[in-house]
Amino acid sequence: MCFCPVFNTCPDLVSGRTIMDARILVAYASRKGSTAEIAQAIGKELAAAGLAVDVAGIKTVSTLAGYTAVVVGGPLYMGSVDGAVGKFVGRYREQLQNLPVAAFAVGIAPKSPDPASVGMAMDALKKSLGPLTPVSSILFAGNLDPAKINFVMRKFLAMAKIPSGDFRDWDAIAAWAKELPGKLHRG
């Protein structure tokens, strides 16, 4: 626990590192761009806190070397988090188990008429993370743009009474991201 008056420069008594020494990877899967935009917003907030941040699509990440923490996120489709998230966790399991990890999912569940859908979405996020226990996890409402989905899916969404539109709450996203520096710091 840190008791320094200026939290962002508090040294870790074991390593001597500070939060300012942190290098965070925000890795995301995104199909239509909404999750990518949320990942960029999270990265922007972490950078504003003075951290070194890389924001990258999960499929472009080739190593976790040099990172002191990871934020991972992906969209929810049909009750499951994008499979790229699970593949990423599987590929880097050992490293991720030794790093602080935060996670987010993006979907329409928060706007669903079914109150159980948020719990199911969070269960899907937990499942996609496998053995990892994130220091923080959250579900954000996303952007469902009918122009970006096919006719069959539009009909399904209409029959299921699933709303379309941009439901992203940028203030909530920023607030969560602002809490992360202290949670992603091991010290």
Domain span holding position 123 = 22-182
Residue 178 lies in a domain: yes
Strand ranges, E, within 2-120: 23-28, 52-57, 69-77, 80-81, 101-107
Express each pLDDT in 48-71 by its tens digit.
999 999 999 999 999 999 999 999
Express each pLDDT in 73-82 by its tens digit.
999 988 899 9
Residue 168: predicted pLDDT:
94
Of 28-32, 140-144, 177-181, the least confident: 140-144
Residue 14 pLDDT class (50, 70, 90 cuts): very low
The rounded percent of the chain whose pLDDT value lies above 70 is 84
Residue 132 lies in a domain: yes
Residue 3 lies in a domain: no
pLDDT of 5 over the 50 cut:
no
Q: CATH no. for residue 38? A: 3.40.50.360
Nearest to 74 by CA among 26, 115, 114, 11: 26
Domain count along the chain: 1
Query: Read out DSSP for 72-104?
Result: EEEEEETTEE-HHHHHHHHHTHHHHHTS-EEEE
Residue 112 lies in a domain: yes
Residue 17 lies in a domain: no
Residue 175 lies in a domain: yes
* Residue the block writes with tokens 């074991």: 14
The whole-model pTM stands at 0.83
Residue 120: predicted pLDDT:
93
